[in-house]
Chain A
């Protein structure tokens, strides 16, 4: 298991490495905690606020601990015309959640932007695993794998 210190030492402390480092930390631990952000700030010799400026901007970096189950549904144009909003409504009803609600400690359902796999939409990502050509009925089977 890698530690934040180890990840930091893989990179030179130059600001151009800040984004790659934060992305790596988020991927390794699920999110960038305040403690880790402080460590990064110290390593790069930047104010903590400056690290947060960057860390809070990007979709692929989390700053909060993620729930056990995160479901992301692409709502890009191509996925949308193939029914991604029906899938979203199906999942909302299934788990009694609302898309975009960040306060449920167990499940997060998120509407995301195009992933570039539009030819195989609708695309659903569950805890990082990508499912393509998902249908309203098929989504039940996919989610069963995870709950």
Chain B
């Protein structure tokens, strides 16, 4: 069975040369779409594939595309390449290694939903990726894969890069849209969902870059073939970003449903020499902590999965790591990145970070311990957007599973 879809040609083709990608079958999905399919039949394949969002939430991609495709007004397609979850650099690796696969995915997806204009919302720090993408866009235009009358058809599409300015919350789709409209990047109340009222009030389909990069393969090989890869609840392959105490850190592609144990040992070459595994954190700073006896859990996007895959970051923490520094990393991150729109998160992340500082200095009081419980509950249950919940996840696990507060 095919286990490499996105990374198949990494390090084998020149990412700056469109011809290299075409030689290995690149843009065949676009050609197939234009010659043998239409938006409806292509959408059917996406739905059949079971592809679900790689941005973290795992929402069925076909269903989202359909909600926008049904609309008859002007609409937009946005590729979410904000990628600012700590420890996550998979989307930028797609751009570095095979930008045309992403562009092809954006073009096909935009045509499926019927958008005449697509945007790439790029992380503000990704200057190198901006150049690569601009170069790739130019090449695609020359080949008439983009622009007016794509390869002789009646389809028109333009893609524009919009670069963010450094704010984690802008990865959340409504905040992302706010930021593109020149506003503060704060999340908006949903509903209305972007699929009904997104950019400039028009129906907008926002998808993660990795989700989009899987689309060409599905169009060429069919939805059914894709649905057979990996875990049946959320099929396909996934990019995992291995970091921390593994011998071979980096981005690897493996089917969904792969266990953490396998990721560490088969893909990451095992635990680094002289280090002893303590726990793993799955999904960046927002991710849950997994201790040794849970390493056999398969990672999927299903709601029933005890360990959500999130961004796919797998951080291996060994026993030599100063846990209080890591806690400061989490709490400091969410304190900085809380957009301030809602009180529970603005205050909660601030207090959490203060307590983390006292914990580090060994000055934590009984009052702090009680307050901590309240703060975590409040973040988990009452914030306006999921960022607040994310802020509580790792800390709650650290209290429960690592016993950082002592008895």
Chain A residues in the interface with B (C-beta under 8 A): 15-20, 22-23, 44, 53-54, 57-61, 75-82, 84-86, 111-119
Indicate if B78 sits at the interface (CB-CB under 8 A).
no
Whether B165 and A118, one on each chain, are in contact in the complex, defined by CB atoms closer than 8 angstroms, is no
In contact, A81 and B315 (Cβ under 8 angstroms): yes
Nearest-CB residue, chain B, relative to A61: B165
Docked pose: A113 CA to B169 CA in angstroms: 12
Q: Are A57 and B86 in contact (CB under 8 A)?
A: no
Would you give the shortest CB distance from A39 to chain B, in whole angstroms?
16
Q: Are B333 and A113 in contact (CB under 8 A)?
A: yes
Cβ of B337 within 8 Å of any chain A Cβ, yes or no, is yes
Q: Find out whether the CB atom of B88 lies under 8 angstroms from the CB atom of A116.
A: yes
Of the candidates A76, A112, A119, which one forms a contact with B285 in the assembled complex, judged by CB atoms under 8 Å apart? A76
Chain A contacts for B250, CB-based, 8 A: 119
B243 at the binding interface (Cβ < 8 Å): yes
Interchain CB contact under 8 A, B317 and A81: yes
Apart from A16-B182, A114-B284, A118-B243: 16 A-B pairs, beta carbons within 8 A? A15-B182, A18-B182, A19-B165, A59-B165, A76-B86, A77-B243, A78-B86, A78-B87, A78-B243, A80-B329, A86-B325, A112-B336, A113-B166, A114-B84, A118-B241, A119-B249
Minimum C-beta distance from B124 to chain A (A): 5
Q: Looking at the complex, which one of A16, A57, A82, A113 makes contact with B181 (CB distance below 8 Å)?
A: A16
* Sample of 17 A–B contacts (CB below 8 Å): A18-B182, A23-B163, A44-B182, A58-B164, A58-B165, A60-B166, A77-B313, A81-B326, A85-B322, A86-B325, A113-B166, A113-B168, A113-B333, A113-B337, A114-B87, A118-B87, A119-B243
Give complex CA distance A17, B181 in Å. Answer: 8
- State whether B89 touches A19 (Cβ < 8 A): no
Q: Per-position contact with A for B311-338: 1 when CB-CB < 8 Å, else 0?
A: 0010101000110011011101100110
B89 engages A117 (CB within 8 Å):
yes
Which 10 pairs of residues, A with B, have the shortest CB-CB distance? A59-B166, A76-B86, A18-B182, A58-B165, A80-B329, A15-B182, A114-B86, A60-B166, A85-B325, A60-B165
0/1 interface trace, chain B 183-198, chain A, CB 8 Å (1 if under): 1111000000000000
Q: Tell whether, in the assembled complex, residue B88 and residue A118 are in contact, meaning their CB atoms are under 8 Å apart.
A: yes
Whether B244 and A81, one on each chain, are in contact in the complex, defined by CB atoms closer than 8 angstroms, is yes
Nearest A residue (CB) for B186: A57
Residues in B neighbouring A15, C-beta threshold 8 A: 181-183
Q: What residues of B have a CB within 8 angstroms of the CB of A22 in the complex? A: 165
Contact A114 B85 (CB under 8 A): yes
Interface residue tally for chain B (C-beta within 8 Å): 51
Tell me if B277 counts as interface (CB < 8 A to partner A): no
Contact partner, A57, options B87, B163, B167, B329, Cβ 8 Å: B167
Question: Given A54-B182, A114-B86, is A85 in contact with B328 using a C-beta cutoff of 8 Å?
Answer: yes
Least CB distance from A56 to B in Å reads 8
Do A78 and B315 touch (CB < 8 A)?
yes
Q: Tell me the minimal C-beta distance from B164 to chain A in angstroms.
A: 8
B109 CB–A CB distance under 8 Å = no
Q: Are B163 and A20 in contact (CB under 8 A)?
A: yes
Residues of A within 8 A of B186 (CB): 57
Minimum CB–CB distance from B250 to chain A (whole Å) comes to: 6
Please, which residue of chain B has its CB at the minimum distance from the CB of A115? Answer: B125
C-alpha spacing A16/B336, complex, angstroms: 25
Q: What is the CA–CA distance of A84 and B241 in the complex, to the nearest angstrom?
A: 19
Give B169 Cβ to nearest chain A Cβ, in Å: 9
CB within 8 Å for A77 and B165 given contacts A16-B180, A113-B337, A116-B123 = no
Instruction: Give the docked Cα–Cα distance between A114 and B332 (Å).
Output: 12
A80 to B321, CA, bound (A): 9
- A61-B165, A76-B329 known; A116 and B89 CB under 8 Å? yes
B61 within 8 A of A: no
Which B residues are CB-close (under 8 A) to A17? Answer: 182
Contacts of B384 in A (CB 8 A): none
Contact B184 A80 (CB under 8 A): no
Q: Which residues of B contact A57 (CB under 8 A)?
A: 167, 184-186, 339
**Are B182 and A58 in touch, CB under 8 angstroms?**
no
Is B329 a contact of A116 with CB atoms below 8 Å?
no
B380 at the interface (CB under 8 A from A): no
CA distance A86 to B322 in the complex (A): 10
Once A77-B86, A80-B325, A113-B333 are accepted as A-B contacts, the answer to whether A53 and B315 lie under 8 Å apart by CB is no
What residues on A are CB-neighbors of B284 within 8 Å? 77, 114
Q: Report the nearest B residue to A53, measured CB to CB.
A: B184
For window 19-41 of chain B, which residues contact chain A by CB distance below 8 Å?
none
